[in-house]
Amino acid sequence: MEEKLKKLKCLLAEIANLKAANAVLGWDQLVNMPGGATEDRGEQIAALEHIMHAKVTSDEIGKLLDELAVGARQIDPESDEACLIRVAKRDYEKQTKVPAEFVTEMARVSTVAQSVWEKAKNHSDFELFRPHLEKLVGLRRQYADFFKPWDHVYDPLLDDFEPGMKTAEVQAIFNALRPKQVELIKAISQTKQVERSFLFLDYPENGQLAFGEKVISKFGYDWNHGRQDKSAHPFTTSFGLNDVRITTRFNSNYLPTAMFGTMHECGHALYELGIDKKFNRSPLADGASMAVHESQSCMWENLIGRSKPFWKHFFPMLQEIFPSQLGNVDVDTFYEGVNAVEPSLIRVEADEATYNLHIMLRLEMEIALMEGSLSAKDAPAAWNAKFKDYLGIVSPDDAKGILQDVHWSFGGFGYFPTYALGNLVSAQLWERMNKDIPNLEEQVEKAQFSEILGWLRKNLHVYGAKFEPQELVKKVTGSKITPEPYIHYLEYKFKAIYNL
């Protein structure tokens, strides 16, 4: 078994190296690449996807996994070896159901679609993007068909981001969460709104960049193994466990955009950088799922970055950078301002109380598109109707509406639910961490984050993709993903801010 495992690891490392090279091309496309290079880049990415698919689905890997699976039954199921075999076999079985021609076509279509989406968003023109969305919806339906029989057409798409979870399971969680959030939002809407006009002044980009870098350096982001760049939509990407990069976007007339976006992406990066290095260049060198990943970004952005103890330390520093904008604002007013609850158009700038409604809306849209009950041409009207129903507002244009997110342009149907699930997981982890670190708030107020990061590394990060998300969350917190801790967190926080 030892010799076969060694051979498997070599083959998987080769695939991981190709995946990293592909990620470099994707990062460059969104950060540096000139717009006219889109088609060439699409062919390059498609070629790499084709090679990777051929290697992942090779008879050699299939035979090795079958032979190793027999031996794996005799060892500890939570050992690194058993988990590697299980995860690699799961990937193999999924990949072998998808034809190589489909993988290549998906890469070509999505690469071009991302560039068209960016142009369509800049011009607020959905019709420019619509043909590409139609192709992507068709391709994702075709992808789901490869995995029949399923309970729901959305299940295979969700499984790509949340291994082992079903659509019905997510819907049940959201159904328990929605009434409580709506009740809280309704109560807040009947009170006096907090002051936050100071957030909409002119904030030069260089000052925003400097502050963000200081904050994430304190969090523990390792600049020797990462960097930050600008992009149309913030993201984190990994080229291996020693090179994890983030991007952000700036809004010179709205301070929170880059400020909290930088903290959010840093949370993702800290997770990747905390995975045990022995898993590098293997299928275990990844997060357990996107929900677990989002729990990390939500924790650093919201539970820490939007907390009062955090701003007691960092607000004077921010005032020094922007004295004319914030010199006459006190820390309590600033804390309330960055936590103001008000229905808004842009998901990534939504407050904690309304954010999950954005996700539930998108989940309904994606399910309808996949079921065929909604066509791409009717999507903008459906979007506006749902926005009116969920949040009481309608977008004035496509850029602030249906085109605001990049996900559909790369075929990422199934991704959105993970954001709301990540919020729930972050609260579960925070609740557990507070029991293990009694002076947690005091450490945040002193900007001492090493024990917090150490707890996350020991209890979560180190495992990489060894365990499925529900299994890992239960291992750390004692419960599968549940909305109760998050609901408690929201009610406690916003009842205090709004004197409910």
Pairing of β 244-248 and β 236-238: antiparallel
In the sheet with 244-248, reading across from the earlier edge strand, the strands are 228-230, 244-248, 236-238
Q: How many domains does the chain have?
A: 2
Euclidean distance between CA atoms 176 and 180, whole angstroms? 8
pLDDT of residue 95: 93
Q: Where are the alpha helices (DSSP H) in 190-345?
A: 205-219, 256-274, 290-298, 308-321, 323-326, 331-338
Give the domain-ending residue among 152, 182, 198. 152
Name the residues annotated as catalytic: 265
Euclidean distance between CA atoms 273 and 173, whole angstroms? 30
Do 199 and 256 form a contact (C-beta atoms < 8 A)?
A: yes
Q: Note whether residue 426 is domain-resident.
A: yes
Cis peptide before 149 (omega within 30 of 0): yes
pLDDT of residue 402: 97
Kindly report the length of the chain. 500
Q: Note whether residue 282 is domain-resident.
A: yes
Q: What stretch of H or E contains 99? A: none
Q: Are residues 33 and 173 in the same domain?
A: no
pLDDT of residue 492: 95
Q: Are residues 233 and 319 in the same domain?
A: yes
CA 401 and chain centroid, separation = 20
Q: Note whether residue 160 is domain-resident.
A: no
What is the domain extent for residue 385?
167-497
Which among 364, 367, 331, 361 has a CA at the least distance from the CA of 346?
Answer: 361
Q: Are residues 22 and 142 in the same domain?
A: yes
Euclidean distance between CA atoms 76 and 431, whole angstroms? 30
Q: Are residues 314 and 188 in the same domain?
A: yes
Q: Are residues 184 and 88 in the same domain?
A: no
Q: Are residues 103 and 200 in the same domain?
A: no
Tokens of 223: 């600049």
Q: If the chain, 500 residues long, is cut into consecutive pieces of 10 residues, what is the mean pLDDT of each piece?
A: 93 97 95 92 93 95 93 90 96 94 94 93 96 97 96 97 95 94 93 96 98 98 98 93 97 96 97 98 97 97 98 98 97 97 90 95 97 96 94 93 95 96 97 96 97 98 97 96 96 95
Which among 489, 432, 485, 423 has a CA at the least distance from the CA of 455?
Answer: 432
pLDDT of residue 25: 96
- Specify the 3-state DSSP secondary structure of 276: coil
Burial letters 64-101, b for 16+ CB under 10 A, else e: bbeebeeebeeeeeeebbbbbbbbbbbbbebbeebeee
Q: 229 - beta bridge partners?
A: 247
Other C-beta atoms closer than 10 Å to the C-beta of 2 total: 8
Which among 196, 326, 199, 197 has a CA at the least distance from the CA of 259?
Answer: 199
Q: Are residues 258 and 313 in the same domain?
A: yes
Euclidean distance between CA atoms 317 and 323, whole angstroms? 10
Q: Phi then psi for 104, rounded to 5 degrees?
A: -65, -45
Q: Note whether residue 161 is domain-resident.
A: no
Other C-beta atoms closer than 10 Å to the C-beta of 492 total: 9
Q: Note whether residue 351 is domain-resident.
A: yes
Please report how many Cα atoms fall inside a 13 Å half-sphere around the Cα of residue 407, on the Cβ side. 19
Do 313 and 448 form a contact (C-beta atoms < 8 A)?
A: no
Give the domain-ending residue among 152, 181, 204. 152
- Specify the 3-state DSSP secondary structure of 76: coil
pLDDT of residue 233: 82
Which residue shows structure tokens 């011009």?
123
Q: Note whether residue 72 is domain-resident.
A: yes
Q: Are residues 413 and 476 in the same domain?
A: yes
Q: Are residues 182 and 231 in the same domain?
A: yes
Q: Are residues 243 and 350 in the same domain?
A: yes
- Distances in whole angstroms, Cα of residue 101 to Cα of each of 46, 49, 108, 332: 10, 10, 11, 57
Q: What is the CATH number of the domain that holds 458?
A: 1.10.1370.30
Q: Note whether residue 157 is domain-resident.
A: no
Q: Note whether residue 158 is domain-resident.
A: no
Do 94 and 128 form a contact (C-beta atoms < 8 A)?
A: no
- Specify the 3-state DSSP secondary structure of 228: strand
pLDDT of residue 73: 84
Euclidean distance between CA atoms 271 and 105, whole angstroms? 32
Give the domain-ending residue among 101, 128, 152. 152
CB within 8 Å of 188: residues ≥ 6 apart: 341, 353, 494, 498, 500
Sign of CA dihedral 29, 34, 35, 37: negative
Q: Are residues 256 and 342 in the same domain?
A: yes
Tokens of 285: 């060198």
Q: Are residues 201 and 126 in the same domain?
A: no
